[in-house]
Amino acid sequence: MANDKTAIQPTRNDDFPEWYQQVIAAADLAENSDVRGCMIIKPWGYGLWEQIQKNLDRMFKETGHENAYFPLFIPLSYLQKEAEHVAGFAKECAVVTHHRLEADANGNLVPKGELTEPLIVRPTSETIIGASFARWVQSYRDLPLLLNQWANVVRWEMRPRLFLRTAEFLWQEGHTAHETETEAVAETERMLKVYETFAKDYLALPVLVGEKSESERFPGAVRTLCIEAMVQDRKAVQAGTSHYLGQNFAKASEIKFVGRDNTQQYAYTTSWGVSTRLIGTLIMAHGDDNGVILPPRVASSQIVILPVIPKPEQRDEILASCEQLAAELRQQTWQGEPLRVKIDSRDKAGGSKTWDWIKKGVPLRVEIGPRDLAAGTVFTARRDKDAKDKQSFKREDFVVGAAKILEEIQQGLYDRALAFREANTRKIDTKEEFYAYFTPKNANKPEIHGGFALTHWCGDETVEEQIKNDLKVTIRCIPFGDTEAGTCPFTGKPSKQRVVFAKSY
């Protein structure tokens, strides 16, 4: 460990942003690459993404979507067709202008072969997918089109942070086209529900569900729906979005069809996506001062077995017992899947190996040594409890009970995150209290700490802009189901409901 207290320094309370970076390094999840703003996702981190991808992909297919793939490069003219969209992404675009390199007189490689039209490295795919939809849709009988793409995208990020904001990141983007507005709106809401369910059931993340204000919408969208999570520094993370695009992109891309009444009509489209930002959210929501804590449903290894080998001559017998235990555990199922078990047989000191896995956040650690072999027991530790909190089980009892322990960890992480969010969410009805709540000088006062503020808002965008400039606080979402009318504390005008204000990543 870094010292006698915690494995990670600084702690969350001392310096949360630096704690976050150190946790990622200690858990061996990712690192910065030689290309500024881009990251290398290492095997333990990529294993997390594979679990996210696998389970979301199944959920998408259960709702009728199919996977496809579209080009990485998008002609500049495609973006220019949708003015609001290109304005929203223009400052983040990476642009390809040449198609080859040649050596100059000094032997240095220089770009040559200027392209007739610049190509944009995919920031999102609405425009190029729209061009394909325009070819594929001729009649109402061709609708709906329900597609998803797993891909990488590039948005030139000036203030990178691993997993949260990088110039290149991994994501999925769903794109659909529909005959009617009603169908498209229903699709937008359905996919938001998929994200909400995934966040709760797999990532153990309680999320607020609602709609973005007009200023926070996806460029070119009619409506943007979102899920918002709170992490342990009480800031919000936009964990997923689903956009109703109306006919805006259909008109720009000429996605039209002959309708049931034999007239030409424009389709209604949607798009929706989540990214590797979910990994950053998970780390900041559940991690502690010893490292990551992984929800079992997305851990690539749910149980790690650590052989304890005091003498070389005991190695073969202990490893054989570990292999047998792993095989028995893999015969057990939880949430419809075999348990994922790993044996760490590295020739490394036991204490060092233990702390490696604590920092990586593996849900369950199991130790087997000579005494355990003789007694028919295993020594176990849960990552959601103190590192010194260990328990001995009869071997057969642990095998049949392991799934129940994983379920307890999964539910416990969700309950803990929900309790934290509720403790740091406040209804605020005056401008003075609102500004005090988010003022940095009050950040260490337990009664005035910042978090989620549920406050009335009259819909005036100038109020949003002023608060953003003054406090770096934005409207994270307009929650569904809130019908409490009131008075906007910033203008004195009527307000239809409370909205969620917070600082965010």
The per-residue pLDDT for range 120-151, each reduced to its tens digit, is 999 999 999 999 999 999 999 999 999 999 99
* The listed CATH number (3.40.50.800, 1.10.3720.10, 3.40.50.720, 2.102.10.10) that belongs to domain 296-409: 3.40.50.800
- Determine the pLDDT at residue 1: 42
Distance (Å, rounded) from C-alpha 469 to C-alpha 464?
9
Residue 32 bridge partners (DSSP): 39
Residues of the chain with CATH 3.30.110.30: 425-502
- Determine the pLDDT at residue 16: 95
Contact indicator for 370, 318 with CB cutoff of 8 Å: yes
- Determine the pLDDT at residue 442: 54
Contacts of 36 (CB under 8 A, 6+ apart): 160, 167
The tokens describing 153, both together, are: 């995208």
DSSP states of 257-295 as a string? EE-TTS-EEE-EEEEEEEETHHHHHHHHHH-BTTB----
Mean pLDDT of 442-468: 84
Chain segment 331-383, per-residue pLDDT in tens: 999 999 999 999 999 988 889 999 999 999 999 999 999 999 999 999 999 99
* Alpha-carbon torsion (7, 10, 13, 18), positive or negative: negative
The tokens describing 11, both together, are: 């702690």
Per-residue pLDDT band for 408 (boundaries 50, 70, 90) equals very high
Mean pLDDT of 204-232: 96
What is the rounded radius of gyration, in angstroms, for the C-alpha atoms of the chain? 26
Contact indicator for 188, 126 with CB cutoff of 8 Å: no
Which of 71-85, 396-410, 421-435 comes out lowest in average pLDDT?
71-85
Tell me the residue type at 23. Answer: V
Q: Does the pLDDT value for residue 20 go beyond 80?
A: yes
Residues of the chain with CATH 3.30.930.10: 16-286
The tokens describing 466, both together, are: 């002023």
Mean pLDDT of 164-191: 97
Residues of the chain with CATH 3.40.50.800: 296-409
Chain segment 241-256, per-residue pLDDT in tens: 999 999 999 999 999 9
- Comparing CA positions, the residue from 303, 17, 267, 4 lying closest to residue 141 is 267
**What superfamily in CATH does domain 16-286 come from?**
Bira Bifunctional Protein; Domain 2 (3.30.930.10)
- Determine the pLDDT at residue 2: 41
Mean pLDDT of 400-420: 98
- Comparing CA positions, the residue from 335, 334, 370 lying closest to residue 350 is 370
Distance (Å, rounded) from C-alpha 414 to C-alpha 350?
31
Per-residue pLDDT band for 10 (boundaries 50, 70, 90) equals very high
Q: How far is CA 289 from CA 4, 16, 278, 490, in A?
A: 12, 10, 20, 39
Contact indicator for 364, 382 with CB cutoff of 8 Å: yes
* pLDDT, averaged across the chain: 95
Q: How far is CA 274 from CA 21, 183, 301, 474, 479, in A?
A: 22, 22, 23, 20, 19
pTM higher than the cut 0.75: yes
Distance (Å, rounded) from C-alpha 505 to C-alpha 493?
30
Here the contacts of 374-380 (C-beta below 8 Å, separation 24 or greater) are 378/325, 380/405
Residue 39 bridge partners (DSSP): 32
- Determine the pLDDT at residue 3: 43
- Comparing CA positions, the residue from 162, 172, 385, 389 lying closest to residue 283 is 162
Backbone conformation region of residue 68, classed left if phi is above 0, alpha if psi is from -120 to 50, else beta? beta
Cα–chain center distance at 461: 28
CB atoms within 10 A of CB 272: 26
- Determine the pLDDT at residue 443: 55
Instruction: Give the pairing type, strands 474-479 and 486-487.
Output: unpaired
Which CATH code for domain 425-502? 3.30.110.30
- Determine the pLDDT at residue 84: 77
